[in-house]
Amino acid sequence: MRAMRQCAGAVALVTVGAEPGRRSGLMVTSACSLSDDPPSLLVCVNRNASPQARIREQGHFVINFLNEEHALLALTFSDQKGVNGDDRFVFGRWTVGATGGPVQEDAVAAFDCVLTQELETKTPQPIRQAAEPARPPV
């Protein structure tokens, strides 16, 4: 599995929570397209990650795909800056998606997702969800 850490992949923020003080998020490289009919994405979230319980509780979340200009934001959401929970949302420009989740305003693409299925594995827990673009890609 260490070899997979060397493989490049798209970087995305998985965010959840509508109200300030109750938002959470994490950085992932495990988000990808699953199906176009119905439109679906697949993302793996570690069962011990703080957003996991909020995703289950709310039943929706946002996948925000980033580019190289979002390096500080990615580091912040990957626990490398010592910033946790809602404090992470001080960085970047945020708006609210249709389901109430945090959408990064200048993300390459952002998908407002509804949780439709979870698959149990040992560590990262794949989550399948129906997805609609939160806004058109830039």
Q: Quote the distance between the C-alpha of residue 4 and its chain's center.
A: 20
pLDDT tens-place string over residues 122-136: 665 555 555 555 554
User: What's this model's pTM, rounded to 2 decimal places?
Assistant: 0.84
Q: Where are the domains of the chain?
A: 2-135
Residue 7 has pLDDT above 70, yes or no: no
Q: By C-alpha distance, which of 66, 53, 57, 51 is closest to 12?
A: 66
| Residue 29 or 93, more confident | 93
Homologous superfamily assigned to 2-135: Electron Transport, Fmn-binding Protein; Chain A (2.30.110.10)
Q: For 13-23, b where at least 16 C-beta lie within 10 A, e where not — what string?
A: bbbbbeeeeeb
59-115 pLDDT, tens digit each: 899 999 999 999 999 999 987 777 888 899 999 999 999 888 999 999 999 999 988
Which run of H or E residues covers position 73?
Answer: helix 71-77
